[in-house]
Amino acid sequence: MSEPLWTLDDFLAATGGEKRGDAADTVTGISIDSRTLEPGEAFICIIGDRFDGHDFVAAAFEAGASLALVASDRLADLPADGRYVVVEDPLEALRQLGIAARARTEAKIIGVTGSVGKTGTKEALRLCLERSGKVHASVASFNNHWGVPLTLARMPRDTEYGVFEIGMNHAGEITPLVKMVRPNAVIITTVEPVHLEYFGSVERIAQAKAEIFVGLEPDGVAILNRDNDQFDLLAFLAGAARVPRIKTFGETETADTVLEKHIQQAGGSSVNARVLGQEITYKIGAAGRHHVKNSLAVLTAVVEVGANLAMAGLALADMHAPKGRGEMSRLGLGGGHAFLVDDSYNANPASMKAALAVMGETPVKRPGRRIAVIGDMLELGEDSGALHIDLMTPLKDAEIDLVFCAGHYMHELWTVLPKAMRGAYSDLASGLKDMLFADIRPGDVIMIKGSLGTRMGPLVDALKKEFPLEDDTEAA
């Protein structure tokens, strides 16, 4: 029988909570969502922007929760016969549970941040490290003030490798998170003009990303992008934080891990690289030069935490782009099919250029076309208009045939698009649906991307519903 995630005694000790009712002796998991809770899991009553977990305690018990971690000032409102651990602040108790989980494990921990590529890098690390031992990693993009402690609290004692994505929108947000995670290695994928509205300059973004150095273990390593314009600043900040070792990756010949050659293929790449002095050839199962670059950081971290480099290289062939982050599907059309690239989860200038570059590398069988359906890139501040207009160059470089634009800022781009490239414009993504549906023809490759607030995702769902998916093995 496997060891439970938490015994009740350890759970109480970590959270500082008081037991009320007949709570189970063991906790098999940690949940903050009564809809997905599995029997035996503890339900943590987080108070968010839209929901209060205390409102769903009864549903959690019906789903089989072993206990509910609740605030003392809400206890009187909850079912009298419930199984509770009572604390002053459930979110703070979750943080303490995460800190306790980190303290009890001997796992090698990797923290990942960066303006773009965090989730893809985290998933590639998960895939690579699974070939060497038991891995625990963040689910989806659980990289904020509740996602990081939740991921820590879910980490089993016998974990051998842990991978944590750490995000931020404002200065000061990474510091408390990385101090909980205490990584042995940290990766900064790149620093780009993202969230400029809150920072004012890319240099200030770099300074905020560099907060990840603060929580690095005393013998840890920082893995930095040698090709990034902010490398010198990041290296200086790492030194100021007394980071003992810095390793670099990139195409620059002086990088510790260097890309020697790569060939783009349908749905992926073949790569030759030198990883900390070791030559390696491997395939990546997801398309895009950005995946090639980030794989260098991944393999550097694999070596640094003592995992098997050769097995990690083989694992990258199984990598694929997840839903909303470059997932490719084949849509059934009368008389043929079209390919849909779902990159709708989020967007900023760097990720938009990367997605368009992937489109340019994707073969199109004429009369099929490359169609970009793009929504506003948000949180870019006073430079928003210019940054949207700047997409004209990567659109032309990728040989995009047709562009559909959604949103206030994308109108700036729309006004400079050549007439031959204009598909349609709408203030809202939903306003593009009928015009896009009417225009699609067999052989087209359609990429949909925009910031989360532009709601490009429902457009993806509508396309899949209107044109049922075919077997997408070839597409993947």
* Answer CATH for 6-89 from 3.30.1300.10, 3.40.1390.10, 3.40.50.300, 3.40.50.2300: 3.40.1390.10
pLDDT in tens, 230-258: 999 999 999 999 999 999 999 999 999 99
Joined tokens for residue 278:
């070791």
- The predicted pLDDT at position 50 comes to 84
Between strands 161-165 and 84-87, the pairing is: unpaired
pLDDT band with cut points at 50, 70 and 90 for residue 397? very high
pLDDT in tens, 434-455: 999 999 999 999 999 999 899 9
- Terminal Cα distance for the chain, rounded: 38
Max alpha carbon distance in the chain (Å)? 70
As assigned by CATH, the class of the 327-466 domain is alpha beta
Domains of the chain by residue range: 6-89, 105-318, 327-466
| β strands within 276-351, DSSP E | 278-284, 327-333, 336-343
pLDDT in tens, 159-218: 999 999 999 988 999 999 999 999 999 999 999 887 777 888 999 999 999 999 999 999
Instruction: Write the DSSP assignment of 353-379 as a string of letters.
Output: HHHHHHHHHS---TT--EEEEEE---S
Q: Which of 26-30, 273-277, 321-325, 434-438 has the lowest mean pLDDT?
A: 321-325
Helical residues (DSSP H) of 56-190, grouped into ranges: 57-62, 90-104, 118-129, 147-153, 174-181
Per-residue DSSP letter, 44: E
- The predicted pLDDT at position 289 comes to 87
CB 375 within 8 A of CB 454: yes
Look up the pTM and report it: 0.85
- The predicted pLDDT at position 184 comes to 98
Mean pLDDT estimate for the chain: 93
Question: Could you say which architecture CATH assigns to the domain 105-318?
Answer: 3-Layer(aba) Sandwich (3.40)
Could you check whether 105-318 and 327-466 share the same CATH topology?
no
Over residues 52-56, the mean pLDDT reads 95
Residue 471 has pLDDT above 70, yes or no: no
pLDDT band with cut points at 50, 70 and 90 for residue 363? confident
CB 317 within 8 A of CB 285: yes
- The predicted pLDDT at position 210 comes to 97
Joined tokens for residue 101:
């989980």
